[in-house]
Amino acid sequence: MLTKTLITSLLLEGTLVAAFPNIAERLAAQKLVERIAPIAPFPEYPGSPAHALYDSFDASSQLVSTSGDNAYQAPGPGDIRGPCAGLNAAANHGYLPRDGIATSEAINTGLWDAYGLDKTATLFLQTATMFFDGDPLSGRWSIGYHSDLTQSVPIVGDILGNETGICAYGHLKTEGDASITRGDWLAPEMNSNCASYPVFAQELLDLAKNRTGGNITPQVLAEHSSNRKAYSVATNPNYFSPVYAGVAFTFGAHMFAYELLANHSAEYPRGFLTPEVFESFFGYTRDSNDNLVFTYGTERIPDNWYKRAADDAWTLEDILLSTAQQCLSYPSNCEVGGNTGEVNSFSGVDLGDITGGLVNSVTDLSDPARMGCFISQAIQADVPSFLDNVFNGAVLQEVLGMIDTTLIPALQGLGECPNLPAGKSVMQYGSTYPGVKAMMSGTRNPY
Ligand code: HEM
Ligand SMILES: *[C@@H]1O[C@H](CO)[C@@H](O)[C@H](O)[C@H]1NC(C)=O
Ligand SMILES: *[C@@H]1O[C@H](CO)[C@@H](O)[C@H](O)[C@H]1NC(C)=O
Ligand SMILES: *[C@@H]1O[C@H](CO)[C@@H](O)[C@H](O)[C@H]1NC(C)=O
């Protein structure tokens, strides 16, 4: 559990620097080379401070198998892949079901075996995602667009539900705008939220080249995330950033790209992420002119790749800490709201209003404990309104009943949050924005 002391020490640069003098030197050096310095530098090693000191490597337990049952195989007809590089690569190597339909057992064991993502994180992600994008009765959800295979029982009329999956019409639930390389769902162009766009991947590689000489680091990813949000505000009249998908999840994915995809070695026990490893995990190859080419569904775990160590796992607490650290370094990343139908028309919602006073400013969100309760509150407000779009009748009543028995217990990992006020759902606080429409099928609004 996050203590007030830990939080304070993480956030006051002075304390962090006093505790870890080697970081102080690196931060100082970093400030000199940064062209546009963030308000407070994003940490070189985000999450719990213990990661910054981690110094062990064990080749045999960290090598991830890419042979036998775990051999790479591109998806076959009917197999689903989507916006998540990590889930796609896991499915292509049999760490998740190769058909792209996630189950709780597969998520909890597969993401640990392949990447060292801790159970505190997988339990939370699995539960939130099955409520938002899948079937809470069976725990199944699609790692891409809609699939009939997630339903517990075959669809009869529309009474048994029609789950969205994590991309396409799953937009605004888990999937949000300004992703690392995916498009914005309601942008005028480049608007697949399932597929990756080379222009955004190239921007990340260029930024890494400018900042580190080539390797992708958490600081590079944090800056890319800020660039991507600025790009969406400037180009997408319907850009919208809700609490969970926009402030928390998209940034969480930016951190996953380093924390879970970096290669490890005795020399680099805290990981290093080369452009080549990034391209393999993201399904990229090069054409004869050396330009990036994305091929849908071909995300691949490289051979001879070493995951993070078991005693240095990435946890739900790390997700909260790094998401809060984002709000200190890049406050505009943490604004909730969107464009109002024209580019560069971003209008933020009143955080105090949507949270019943839990959070009153973006600065409040640099407190990880408050960030945890902010996310928990948003999920509790969003889930019923989204379930209502997907299910009907007796099935709706049953899945709504599971909020208390199944969802709320899985949110405990976000913090205790006593006397949490009821929050507003994105469908309420976003109702006047063109980027917030509950579309389940058909022509995507507002086009
Ligand atoms: C249950 C677990 C997970 C769920 C539900 C999930 C879901 C998603 C979703 C919905 C997106 C799109 C986010 C956006 O709109 O920006 C995404 C992106 C991403 N995820 Fe995951 N993910 C999970 C686990 C992982 C793991 C284990 C990894 C790494 C090993 C990972 C790496 C990424 C990356 C790098 C992206 C960004 C892709 C891009 O923008 O091009 N995720 N994930
Ligand atoms: C279910 O939703 C998908 C989009 O998520 C849509 O393409 C499909 O037509 C829907 N099916 C039914 C039976 O409504
Ligand atoms: C990288 O640096 C070059 C040269 O200063 C600049 O033109 C380019 O915009 C930078 N790219 C990114 C993504 O920061
Ligand atoms: C990971 O790092 C080790 C040690 O430097 C190296 O031998 C291996 O080739 C790297 N793997 C990849 C996929 O780059």
Per-residue pLDDT tens digits for 121-139: 999 999 999 999 999 999 9
Rounded to whole angstroms, how far apart are CA atoms 433 and 436?
A: 6
Q: Is the CB of 175 under 6 A from ligand 1?
A: yes
Q: Separation of 301 CA from ligand 1 center, angstroms?
A: 15
* Integer CA distances (angstroms), 125 to 22, 235, 248, 253, 378, in order: 34, 30, 12, 12, 14
pLDDT at 162: 85
Residue 284, ligand 4, Cβ within 6 A: no
Nearest CA to ligand 3 atom 3: 210
pLDDT tens, residue order, the chain (447 aa): 444 334 333 443 333 333 333 444 444 444 433 434 466 899 999 999 999 999 999 999 999 999 999 999 999 999 999 999 999 999 999 999 999 999 999 999 999 999 999 999 999 999 999 999 999 999 999 999 999 899 876 555 555 678 999 999 999 999 999 999 999 999 999 999 999 999 999 999 999 999 999 999 999 999 999 999 999 999 999 999 999 999 999 999 999 999 999 999 999 999 999 999 999 999 999 999 999 999 999 999 999 999 999 999 999 999 999 999 999 999 999 999 999 999 999 999 999 999 999 999 999 999 999 999 999 999 999 999 999 989 888 889 999 999 999 999 999 999 999 999 999 999 999 999 999 976 666 766 544
What are the tokens at 127? 């539960």
d(CA 337, ligand 1 centre) in Å: 22
Query: DSSP letter at 43?
Result: P
Q: Is 304 in the pocket of ligand 4 (CB under 6 A)?
A: yes
Q: What is the pLDDT of residue 394?
A: 86
Q: Is the CB of 45 under 6 A from ligand 4?
A: no
- The pLDDT, as a whole number, for residue 408 is 97
pLDDT, residue 26, reads: 46
Closest-CA residue, ligand 1 atom 31, reads 86
Q: How far is the CA of 211 from the centre of ligand 3 (A)?
A: 9
CA 394 to chain centre: 32
Burial, 295: exposed, middle or buried (Cβ in 10 Å; 0-12, 13-18, 19+)?
exposed
Residue with tokens 């992420």: 273
Ligand 4 atom closest to the Cα of residue 268 is: 5
Ligand 1 near 309 CB (within 6 A):
no
Q: Which of 65, 274, 306, 307 to mutate to test the pocket of ligand 4 (most atoms within 8 A of CB)?
A: 306
pLDDT of residue 439: 67
Closest ligand to 200 CA? 1
Pocket test of ligand 2: the residue of 150, 386, 441 to mutate, having most ligand atoms within 8 Å of its CB, is 441
Phi, psi of 35 (to 5 degrees): -70, -50
- pLDDT at position 393 is 86
Please tell me the residue having the least CA distance from ligand 4 atom 6.
304
Tokens of 335: 């604004």
Which pLDDT value is given to residue 11?
Answer: 40
Residues whose beta carbon lies within 6 Å of some atom of ligand 3: 203, 206-207, 210
124 Cα to the center of ligand 2, angstroms:
27
Cβ of 306 closer than 6 Å to ligand 4, yes or no, is: yes
Q: What is the pLDDT of residue 38?
A: 61
Residue 84 beta carbon below 6 angstroms from any ligand 1 atom: yes
pLDDT number for residue 441 = 67
User: Which of 60, 63, 215, 263 to mutate for ligand 4's pocket (most ligand atoms within 8 Å of CB)?
Assistant: 263
Q: How far is the CA of 253 from the centre of ligand 4 (A)?
A: 23
Instruction: Starting from the CA of residue 224, give the closest ligand.
Output: 3
Angle of the 368-390 helix axis to the 119-133 helix axis, nearest 10: 30
For residue 175, give the ligand 1 atom closest to its CA: 15
Instruction: Kindly state if the Cβ of 277 falls inside 6 Å of ligand 4.
Output: yes
Beta bridge partners of 75: none
Ligand nearest to the Cα of 151, by number: 2
CB 436 within 8 A of CB 172: yes
Residues with CB under 6 Å of ligand 2 are 146, 155, 158, 162, 164, 168-169, 440-441
Q: Are strands 240-241 and 141-142 parallel, antiparallel or unpaired?
A: unpaired
CA atoms within 13 A on the CB side of 152: 13
Q: 333: which DSSP letter?
A: G
What percent of the chain stands above pLDDT 90? 83
* Distance from Cα 208 to the centre of ligand 3, integer Å: 10
